[in-house]
Amino acid sequence: MADLVMVIEDEKEIRDLVRYNLERAGFRVALADNGEDGLERIFAARPDAVVLDLMLPGLSGLEVLRELRGEPVTRDLPVVVLTARAAEMDKLLGFEHGADDYLTKPFSPRELVARLQALLRRARPSRAEPVVQVGGLRVDADAREARFLGKPLTLTPREFDLLAFLAHHAGRVLSREELLRKVWGYDYLGETRTVDVHVRRLRLKLGERHHVIETVTGAGYKLVAPKKPAERRGKKS
Ligand code: CA
């Protein structure tokens, strides 16, 4: 499934140019012409990366960035900042505001595509490291094999994808919407209940130590390293 890039830029010409080039490079693109809409759409659509203009009417690009970095779900979202003035780059150089990369206008669309691709590769350790070990859980994405406490798990392809995604993002709360989008695919027309059903089945297969998949009330699911039975005793699940 193609990665979704949210482009927040008030200048229509640049927006169109970026959209054209990103789509040609195989990305899916969502557009916003101001910071407020951009933020709203980012939290709703959960893109894989953001292209953010600094000089925006209303909420500035830096304020948008600050909002994104302040929220756990978007803290690690790759952001490429576009800036018209080289002087602004100084502010971003130390990445104190949390931009992952930046380009000065006028920029080469090809360069923007290259930067985005590099950021997305970095943001996905799963592509570089096919084997993930979390506590007693071992997921091998290349071999499509999962083992829990040394025993192989028999999973459907979807269950495997879900478990692999949870394992690759261990310790992070993942919303049902995000899981649906990232595991089932952006265009999947389903309800978030689908996620609950699959999590329930996964837990059954994980057996008595299925608490590695935690339900985070009102937020979603999180994979945690299995705890020793003594530590788990008395804890509500
Ligand atoms: Ca602008």
**Cα of 59 from ligand 1 centre, angstroms:** 11
How much is the pTM?
0.56
Q: Would you state the pLDDT for residue 50?
A: 96
Considering the domain delimited by 4-123, tell me its CATH architecture.
Answer: 3-Layer(aba) Sandwich (3.40)
pLDDT higher than 80, residue 45: yes
At the topology level of CATH, where does 131-236 sit?
Answer: Arc Repressor Mutant, subunit A (1.10.10)
Length of the chain equals: 237
**Cα of 123 from ligand 1 centre, angstroms:** 27
- Going by pLDDT thresholds of 50, 70 and 90, the confidence category of residue 235 is very low
Q: Would you state the pLDDT for residue 228?
A: 47
Sequence spans of domains, the chain: 4-123, 131-236
pLDDT tens column, 124-138: 654 456 888 988 899
Calculate the average pLDDT of the chain. 85
Q: Would you state the pLDDT for residue 230?
A: 46
Average of per-residue pLDDT across 24-33: 96
pLDDT higher than 50, residue 224: yes
Q: Which helix (H) or strand (E) holds 45?
A: helix 35-45
**Cα of 120 from ligand 1 centre, angstroms:** 24
Q: Which helix (H) or strand (E) holds 126?
A: helix 125-128
Which residue is associated with the tokens 């993002």?
169
Highest mean pLDDT of the ranges 120-134, 148-162, 218-232: 148-162
**Cα of 60 from ligand 1 centre, angstroms:** 9
**Cα of 82 from ligand 1 centre, angstroms:** 8
pLDDT higher than 70, residue 83: yes
